[in-house]
Amino acid sequence: MKTVQPASRRETLPGSRFRVPFCLFLFCLAGWFPLRAADPGASASTVSRSGQFVIHGTPGVSSSAVVGSPSRINPVGQGANVVLRPDLLAVTAERVRKAVLNQLGLPEGPGAKVHLNLRRRRSVEGQLQISPAAFSSGWIYRVDLPDEIEWNRLVRVLVEVTLLDVANRGNSSGVNAMPPLWLSEGIDCLLYHELGRDLVPEAETLLNRSARRRDPLIPLRAALGGREPEGFGTLTQVDLDQLNDPQHFALYRVNTGLLMAAMLQDEAGRQHAREFLRQLPMHFNWQTAFLRSSDGRFETLLDVEKWWAVAVVSLLGRDPTQQWPRDRVITELRSILTETAEVRESTNSPAGRRSMTLGEIVRTWEYTAQKDVLLRKATQLRRLAVHAPTDLVPLLAACFQTLDGYLTARSGAGVDPIARSEIESRGRILAKTTSRKLDELDRQIAARP
């Protein structure tokens, strides 16, 4: 099973970047793309309020064809599909664009032209495609849409084209950089749960819009169904079989929604997201752009993984449905801070199994033998913290930080060009200090009722 960057489910062209053929450029100069719809009988264009979106309708999708009498007005959101009308599609595009920019903390400035071409449904098959073209004045995008479409699918492609526009502003390389799937799906998931059908006006419907926005974390927590969120590495590397499985993809969207909720919850995170999108065209892969745009917050992807582990506790720790009883958490914690291992009391004595505390393991074992055990225990602590009552979270965090700090320090002990004897001396000092901290945490846990 091949592991790939998750781009297969995108409503875009395949691949992580676009290249513009020379012949396509000539057609653009000739006025064929994308200013004129392919259908010779296309109706006049409709331009959105900001002027960014240009909608090209077809004879089968006109304003007069769908306007009804007041007696036929229905509540909005009665079906999964919406019939697209040029003037209402222009409103939808502007609403989605504004919602995405709000998530990123960006003002509503001018953007690249986006041409939305309405086609009869049977003529638009398979995944929707976003077609970019580079000009001296910037990028232009074209999207062919069926005249009837699932509303959430429409919103998804508008989210993607907005993120493409943000990422490629000022990009004159001729290669259109694509934001990673976890980012676009995460933002789309947040908008789905926060704004939903409010984003998509429909003909002959009455919309009761609430002035109070919904909290997207409530349905996202519920959708986890007691499962633990995926790690950052798992979310950013996913194979095609998983993406093509509807159940797995739905869970993937929930996880990316939580990830973006954590990232965009404060101005520092939004600034990172904005700078990340700006730097995407400058780097061959998104990982490099993500680290370099963090302003020193993340030196490696392991740092991102650690941040996500703490963020998960913050996001889910306030959810009562995720919490376990106190006695169960204490029992699990005591189990995590011990390890059953084969031990020889002397060189010639037979090996026997007994329980050892982590402090004892750090003091007596070689680091190469400790490392795998401590990494496993740190992961278990992170997962347990999600289910801990609020008053126990600081204790679990102290245990996790003690192990994580020790592992980080030991793994970096050999970076400087120093003598092996000094490296070993530093390791012994770290082990002694850490074992004392672990012993003290054991005493605190034993004193808990």
Mean pLDDT over residues 211-219, rounded?
74
CA 303 to CA 79: how far, in whole Å? 44
Residue 40: count other Cβ atoms within 10 Å of its Cβ. 6
Same domain, 179 and 244: yes
Q: Position of tokens 């026997």?
A: 352
Across the beta sheet with 113-119, the strand order is 45-47, 53-56, 113-119, 138-146, 130-135
- At 382-413, the pLDDT tens digits run 778 877 887 888 888 888 888 888 888 887 64
Tell me what pLDDT residue 275 has: 96
Residue 376: count other Cβ atoms within 10 Å of its Cβ. 12
Same domain, 21 and 105: yes
In a domain, 70, yes or no: no
Residue 183 sits in a domain of what CATH number?
Answer: 1.10.390
> Which of 300, 317, 334 represents a domain boundary (last residue)?
317
CA 105 to CA 13: how far, in whole Å? 27
Do you find a cis peptide bond into 325, omega within 30 degrees of 0?
Answer: no
Domain around 289 = 3-64+77-317
In a domain, 71, yes or no: no
In a domain, 155, yes or no: yes
CA 134 to CA 155: how far, in whole Å? 24
3 state DSSP class of 14: coil
pTM to 2 decimals? 0.66
Mean pLDDT over residues 246-274, rounded?
92
Q: Which residues contact 436 (CB under 8 A, 6 or more apart)?
A: 359
- At 268-306, the pLDDT tens digits run 999 999 999 999 999 989 999 999 999 988 988 888 888
In a domain, 293, yes or no: yes
Backbone angles phi, psi at 437, to 5 degrees: -65, -40
Same domain, 13 and 41: yes
Look over the chain and give the mean of its residue pLDDT values, rounded to a whole number. Answer: 79
> Which of 317, 348, 374 represents a domain boundary (last residue)?
317
Any alpha helices (H) in 215-352, and if so which ranges? 217-224, 232-236, 240-243, 246-263, 267-279, 286-292, 301-317, 326-336
> Which of 285, 317, 349 represents a domain boundary (last residue)?
317
pLDDT > 70 fraction of the chain, expressed in percent and rounded: 76
